[in-house]
Structure 1
Amino acid sequence: MKEAERTEQPLGALVNNWTSRPYPEKIILEGNFCRLEPLCTEKHALYLFDAYQKAGADMWTYIPEGPFQDVEHFRTMIDKSVASKNVHFAIVNKKTECPVGQFCLMRCDPANGVVEVGYVLFSPALKKTTMATEAHYLLMKYVFENLKYRRYEWKCDSLNAASRKAALRLGFQYEGTFRQAAVSKGRNRDTHWFSIIDREWNCCRLAFERWLSCENFDQGKQKVGLNEIRSAIL
């Protein structure tokens, strides 16, 4: 540092050799139980509409759109998602080859290596399954290992208890609440912020891989929970 640039004020740690990261691509990510593929109206909309109908209206409480009474309005939402800058994925059950959910990489900030997982819509056929955990693992692995991002975010309505619980189970750290962050469906939304950063990824990765291993299941039931595995690694 040049003499004129010296300061007695505290500074953040140097990020050596940092360059802007690539923007997420619309690619296929293969797992053992599920496959993530770019969301497509013609390929996925009807299947997803039918899958979500089994969940009822409560599924849409904390989502800006929905619930949808007919497939045409739902297709319009999928069209908008596909056309947006966000990178949306359908989650496909490899056993049935049917899409059972979706999520996306949004608010991408390649210059700083930050991206958020959002618009998480899991049908009853996906919720609380091995596929659901594997889908999150595949997307995180892509962000941290392929794109080399530094920060992976999760945000949810502060009243969305299920989303808060899921974030913590997956390894996200709670960072705080942004009060009156939005107006959603005419109501106030306080937003909880969570994140995983790059130096935490290795622990998260090992926990996911041990949890997903065949040795951790007996007749389809987990032997050890993901939080317990991660705590043992820390």
Structure 2
Amino acid sequence: MERRLLDWDQGLGRPRVLPLWKAVVVLCFLLRHNAVQEMAGELFGLSQPMVSRYGTLLRPVVCDCLRQLGFGIAPRGEPVLVDGFLAPCWDWKATEQLFSAKHRRTGHNIQVISDLHGRLREVGQPLPGARHDAHAYTASGAEAAVGRRPGPGDKGYQGSNLFTPYKKPLHRSLTEVEKDCNRAHPSIRSAVERCIGHLENWKILSENFRRPLDRFPEILETVTQLELLRTWTPS
């Protein structure tokens, strides 16, 4: 970031209120706690317009620098887990299909890919909350990211290339083997649910999104890269 923003701490012209490292802390604070900009300004000694300018300037730089580190999808052949969650937002009349009947609120359908240990691997592009998980899995790019890797999904992904629980046939009951498989299925998938829980600790994804909706994809990508960095462990 210092190489990308050479003029930040050079002492030329009007000096910055905060050094670069602390301005990044402000950005992470806004994403982690979904705090209003006035609160961040009070805590860090900035005006609200300055907090807004810092966020707009630094967010794409942070995202691009982290993307270049290469964190992401699991190695070829390693099993992955897939699930979705709703990132809530206000009901914008200019944007259609935000209301999710499943969750009874408006938001974006976010598809999450994790490994078997619950570590985040990838997040698909956000889609309107009315989209079903099976459709969102393909349309968000998650299916392309998973590729031919084996992985279980819940009943919402029936018809996709994921392994889903057995459905009861019309004219017979489930066999004992099928019942055992269905009982084991959620215990395996619990890892991706933990992953989603950690991702939702970035409150900007779990509380109402207050910023313009056209900024949400960029903010989601930034949060994804920050979470990949947070959970990265050297191999």
TM-score by length of 1: 0.22
Answer 1 or 2: higher relative contact order, Cα 8 Å, separation at least 6: 2
More helix by share: 2
More strand by share: 1
Give the structure with higher Rg (CA). Answer: 2
TM-score by length of 2: 0.22
